[in-house]
Amino acid sequence: MPDFSIEGSTDPFLAVQLDQGETVFAEGGAMAAMEDTIDLTGKARGGFLKSVARAATTGESFFMQHATAARGAGRMLFAPSHPGEVRIIEVMNDAWSLTDGAFLCAEESLEVATKRNKSISGSFFGGTGGFFIMTVSGTGTLAVSALGAIQEMPIPPGGELVVDSGHVVAWPSTAEMSASLSTGQKGGMLGKMVGSVKTGEGVVLRFKGRGPILVASRAQPAFIGWLSSRMPSSS
């Protein structure tokens, strides 16, 4: 099976060692370097219709890179499209949900699909894929990336883990997600909107069940806003 490892501490590469005949697939444009024993092609993963649905609903690429060690063993490097950490997940007969842009690379044995967001409230808020969420299922190695550092947060037994929507990276099928406008448990919609404005937290996601939730240190909307505020004016 392909060997996944992380090379470097700041803005690291994902290194993958392939034996002859092995294949991995990755987000379009993620390949940074590879040995010449490897063939790289672009394919519509899962067929045309599934690829259209994935690209339209999750923001991922229509064509994914497929890398096969065709002429012997080979090593290659993948790089995310944004600065931050890469995390390797061993998927064991399970499914992981990923936020927009989190997918980096996976073993050929894993399946990629989009699923409808069962949380109606979560569908209206950004950062979690809206009405559709990207899922990776099966058994194999998965690599995800995020803006900034990634931290695993366990769900407290019998309780909930509350995460700002812009900081969520991925979660397993053993966790159930819902969304709300504030961390408060009580109060109507107006009260929660006022509380959200006061705390500056915006939309939060609530997780019940089991399993680690991967959380990023940077939220893309806030980071883009910070960059925009420091861009020189055109006037």
The class level of CATH for 3-224 reads alpha beta
Q: Which residue's entry shows tokens 């690429």?
A: 61
- pLDDT computed for residue 91 by the predictor: 97
Q: What is the pLDDT of residues 152-209, one digit of tens each?
A: 999 999 999 999 988 999 999 999 998 877 555 554 444 444 343 333 456 789 999 9
Tell me the residue ranges of DSSP E strands in 30-157.
Answer: 31-34, 38-43, 64-69, 74-78, 86-98, 103-107, 111-116, 132-145, 150-154
The two three-digit tokens of residue 127, written as one number:
């950062």
Domain ranges of the chain: 3-224
- pLDDT computed for residue 182 by the predictor: 59
- For residues 160 and 208, is the Cβ–Cβ distance under 8 A? yes
Q: How far apart are CA 124 and CA 122, in angstroms?
A: 5
Longest dimension (CA), the chain: 63
- pLDDT computed for residue 47 by the predictor: 46
C-alpha count within 13 angstroms, C-beta hemisphere, residue 209: 14
Q: How far apart are CA 32 and CA 210, in angstroms?
A: 35
- pLDDT computed for residue 120 by the predictor: 44
The residue ranking higher by pLDDT, 167 or 229, is 167
Which range, 74-88, 120-134, 198-212, has the best average confidence (pLDDT)? Answer: 74-88
Taking the alpha carbons at both ends of the chain, their separation in whole angstroms is 56
**Residue among 46, 41, 91 nearest 69 (CA):** 41
- The model's pTM: 0.80
Q: How far apart are CA 188 and CA 186, in angstroms?
A: 7
C-beta atoms surrounding 140 within 10 Å: 20
- pLDDT computed for residue 116 by the predictor: 66
